[in-house]
Structure 1
Amino acid sequence: MRSDLDHLEAALVGTPLAGLPIGHGPAGTVLVSDVDPNRLQEAWQAAEALVPVTGRRPIMITDDFVGTLEMSPEPQPGPSESELRAFAAAARSAEPWLAYRDHGEDHEVEEGEVEFYAGGVAGVDLTALASDVVLPTPRPTLERTLYDRLLADTALHARVLDTVRFVTQPDYWFTPDSVLLMLLPTSDVRGSGYWVDHYGALTLEYRHKLAEVLAQWRHRWDARLVASWGTMLQFQVGRRPTPGDEAWTAAGQLKALAPNLELSRWEVAVAMPAGDAWFVHDRP
């Protein structure tokens, strides 16, 4: 109804979203169009700060890859409260890290393969740190050994960080030509997964799992979903993982959710404490 839109328009006054076209979107959402791509994060932060006022969690979306998203003058039907509660309950019982996983970690590293895994995609080779590793060994064991030894070498760690820090910086994010703000009809993080359009969650089962990832990451890292570009998700992180076990765990989860992130897990673990922008890329 127009009164709902008037309430939202009033809430957006004084933000980068003020005065932009607003209308009803699909499944109970509200769309704000013509967001300046150069102020994408600033606009999202303004909408995120207003969640206690609007009751709607914000996500940036784009119509660059599909037909133009049309606004409707009337609200479009969304899930009922009972349907949304059922969705959140199913997400809560999901076990996302059994489904989202880096299957490359199942590999046993044999003689002659160490250099491949220790070579470093970003440019720093740690093969020398693995000279005494008994082979064959599981890939995660080798990479964790490399990571732990790297943490003990301040100078080498600094060299690696210089090459990988980009992966947790906003400059690494994708910026579409057309940006819209989608205001979801819920403030619940887990429930917000109902509306997230992502290639890695094409079925209802996987949408439950992705919704649980959103909830877990929010709880542990204060990671908030900024944008969903179809094959990409972008997060702002309020609590960076500390070097060691936290960074290693977070790197493993990010790699599991983002199979197109080409860095080794030990490289991602180095980057995790150095930035507050996580990028998930999962494409065909």
Structure 2
Amino acid sequence: MKRVIIIGAAGRDFHNFNMVFRNSPDQEVVAFTAAQIPGIEGRTYPPELAGPRYPNGIPIFAEKELPRLIKELKADLTILSYSDLSYADVMHIGSSALAAGADFQLLGPRNTMLRSRLPVVSVGAVRTGAGKSTVSRKISLTLRDAGKKVVVIRHPMPYGDLTKEGVQRFASFEDLDKADCSIEEREEYEPHIEHGFVVYAGIDYEQILRSAEKEADIILWDGGNNDIPFIQPNVHFAVLDPLRPGDELTHYPSEVNVRLANVGIINKVNVAEPKNIQLVESN
């Protein structure tokens, strides 16, 4: 039995667990670590979501404890499962895991993307703040104008009570109040809701996708940070940022997004220097 630690930030890490490890007979996840978002460590991934192989759930520790955890929990493998990291930071984390005695691994789209029975349009970006949310909103309106019923599935932000966030459906501002959504969540959900779109989010994206499929013609994946989609897209848009030229080739998983893309959109061209726009385009 291989013992695994998933290195995350309350989002991609839970999805990777659900897709690859929850029902694996020969791998046991002994811990998650958490970074980037203050206060998300010290929790437990609950047994309701972890499944019958984890009756006590899975503890979540701060990432700085990774070397100690590898040794004390006798971990064989660590899985990096969060985004918006420089390539240097990826290998600093990897070096920390390797020096403590564990293997270090990334998971790819084949093992982590769900398949939908509906057409899927996805929007990702090369960095947080590139402007993918405005692109997502424009795409959703364009598809509706074409007569399609669009349901939005948003990248996760499960920073509250995990037992209540397996599948979340938001069709009104009152739904956001009932779920006690954070300011960050409201910033992403409210514009979609204001335009009359239903938004799904949460933790268990298999169940989220199947619920969304029941009320949609097209699924729109609205990505978070610079992560790649959780659902295999028919068309993938990558939003590039000429105010941070070159980041598309130096951050993880920015370059993956670019290589997966059917369409690249260079945003902020009204404020960026022409030479930087040209650099991004050439990259």
Which of the five TM-score ranges fits, normalised by the shorter chain? under 0.3
Bigger fraction of residues in strand: 2
- TM-score of the two chains, using structure 2 as the length reference: 0.23
Larger radius of gyration: 1
TM-score, structure 1 length as denominator?
0.23
Question: Whose helix proportion is higher, 1 or 2?
Answer: 1
